[in-house]
Structure 1
């Protein structure tokens, strides 16, 4: 299937038992297995919600979303942190702030490395931003991204926690080579989308 066609015609559908997932395979067995074996069970248990990225009748990818919080102390120093502290008159570093977490995000391996993932991620972020503006208060989107996906998320304006700076600067390529599924916690302030 042509990537430009997919970019113009993909849609999100909530996972259900009628979807055929047999042909879906991404670069991570863990992410493939989650979709095929666990996503629907978790959804039925109200632990996460999985949206399939569909083009025509083909499962191109998926995203699994759930609620989360981020500690104020984990947000990098700067305008965002100072705005929140000033607006809410917060002094506790342990204050939790509401977030939506991307629990899993994956594309079928046939459709990777061509900008489709970034486009889908931006669509997800704008959908979450719409929810934040119209349905429930939240300001951040979080993800525990695999080391091999770290650069993908940072290219899309996600920020790692300060505590991981040294590991990432000095050892990211080594980590990707030795343990590509090691996770790093990253976040984005939805206000960057304004």
Structure 2
């Protein structure tokens, strides 16, 4: 992503989007389908908040991500990363449940931009959260998150790789 393009970008809550959602096209059909068919309902039901990255100059949807609340057992976090003295069995977290970039904007830094936007929103909210969690749908997604500093959870029996990013000083 070029710096001169930053001036043309806006991140909006889904409910403020004026562009047609069906203009968004993603090679990961589950992410495309979710955005077209389910995201609005999840937002209305308060199951997730969805944020959409817009290129104002081209009037195009670049990508989106969703945030929702999560509670993570302390035992799922690698023990060497936990500072002593956490008196609770679970810690508060935020989940990026979905993150997708339109096919025409792939490999240009917009995924990283959306992760940074999510972190900014989380750190400036009035709700506490110690970690940011992502579900990596495949090895390419896991590699992307690892390059951004995300750490894999230990001992999780899930179909997707789960990773986290420390947001609080209680996690190293």
Task: Please give the range of the TM-score, normalised by the shorter of the 2 chains.
Answer: 0.7 to 0.9
The answer to whether the aligner puts 1:113 opposite 2:102 as a matched pair is: no
Residue 13 of structure 1 aligns with which residue? 12
Q: Is structure 2 residue 152 aligned with structure 1 residue 160?
A: yes
Moved more, 117-126 or 11-20: 11-20
Corresponding residue of 2:163: 186
Whole-angstrom CA distance in 2 between matches of 1:116 and 1:42 = 23
SS at match of 2:30: helix
User: How far is 1:100 from its partner?
Assistant: 0.8
Query: What CA distance in whole angstroms lies between the structure 2 residues aligned with 1:6 and 1:43?
Result: 29
Offset, 1:19: 3.3
Partner of 2:46: 46
Q: C-alpha root-mean-square deviation of aligned residues, in Å?
A: 1.9
Please name the residue that 1:149 is paired with: 141
Q: Which moved more, 1:65-74 or 1:10-19?
A: 10-19
Partner of 1:177: none
Give the number of equivalent residue pairs.
Answer: 162
Q: How many Å separate the matches in 2 of 1:62 and 1:6?
A: 17
Higher helix share: 1
- SS at structure 2 position matched to 1:114: coil
Contact 1:72–1:97, Cα closer than 8 Å, also in 2: yes
Select the residue among 59, 62, 73 that pairs with 1:60.
Answer: 62
Q: CA deviation at 1:18?
A: 4.2
2:120 and 2:36 map into 1 onto residues whose CA distance is 27
Alignment of 1:47-126 (within 5 A): 47-56=47-56, 57-78=59-80, 80-81=81-82, 83=83, 85-86=84-85, 88=86, 90=87, 95-126=89-120
Aligned 8 A contact 1:7 1:116 in 2? no
Structure 1 position 136 matched with structure 2 position 116: no
**Structure 1 unaligned blocks of 5 or more:** 165-181
1:122-151 residue CA offsets vs partner (Å, 9 max, x unmatched): 2211221222xxx12111111112113110
- Secondary structure of the structure 2 residue equivalent to 1:22: helix
